[in-house]
Structure 1
């Protein structure tokens, strides 16, 4: 169950939605972005198989969210304001998998991925506008992706330049227009006129999304016992020990 409690009072001017999302998800955001899997990518210690499995799981999440957002934008004005094809990233993940010589179909969802996708689908039915919280989290990750992409390409021997065929389109889908498109995204959120209760739910959904992503990272590094005997599922536990004196790197995301 997603817990949402109002932070509004009758005599207080509400913060812009993008500011609330940034402030009220900070702890869960930090927990996800400092996970050892992310640290391995940004420090260039990721291996090809683990990177492909990561992309495979995130493809399920984006495929589910992209479909829900496209459908929701046809019915809900708030979603229509924010949803643009440039923010829907499942095709970029498919392209990256193809560059790695992988098929998307060879990466079935892990338990945490199935649960996260299930929550997205449930919201799409019950309160599609609340998916703006998930949308914020996943689109916001493209800011940090600019720092991850070069390290991944170097570690895996992929083309040094980004863009199509680089294997890292998912991390930097907007190229040089990253700042411009993120600013547009936040501005679109902030012009919405939504009830306070809806804004509270959007923030709660964003918190849940960060936790969902973190749980996927955990499943990738520590595959559930039920998946280890299936050759189509992830292999042994993945460990990324830090170098001496190294802390998990962080990167600006907004």
Structure 2
């Protein structure tokens, strides 16, 4: 009976045994008086990253936060931001002799400062590929590679990796697939292959003769260069064919009437 009573008493005391030590294990934290008046600089707002992959820029709004939670002395500053590290493959077609620059980072990111980042280049000569096994180291110390002039031997795929110096983690990888062609094989004059409407659209995008309409363009062209000229030819041709057919039909009818008149005269 004594054991039973002790068990009952112990069971009744268990909730108190669990509650009392928990309350005693978390002492009350007091903030020192000198820290209660400290103001902190906190980023309260930020824009989205300027790029969809790799290292970009964002604009942050930082403010001083008082102990009462008020904001003051707010300012805007630019800072680096990172998104997904894979940027895929970009295709480039360059004629022989033309200069070419492959930049791993945008100019605004470089202008802000890239001391905490490093860049390594690799190349797969003569191939357009994303198979990393086919790449060999390409010595280039900067974030951009310049070719001036471009040679046929420069064709291939160039891979750029941007890493953080502290963690050596890759934050951007981009592939540049470069095709180098000879000028005597292919004409890369894009303007020659454009239609009148496409040329007008290009002029409007460049801000040249933006107020010109298709009607004005048609009026400046010679009549044989206008879009309506083939339609006019078809209409004129159809009209001439119709006139010839009608004249032949009238002549045949006239001859039949004459022949019938001659037969009637011979009968009388």
Say yes or no: TM over 0.5.
no
Structure ranking higher in strand proportion? 2
Structure ranking higher in helix proportion? 1
State the TM-score, normalized to the length of structure 1.
0.21
State the TM-score, normalized to the length of structure 2.
0.20
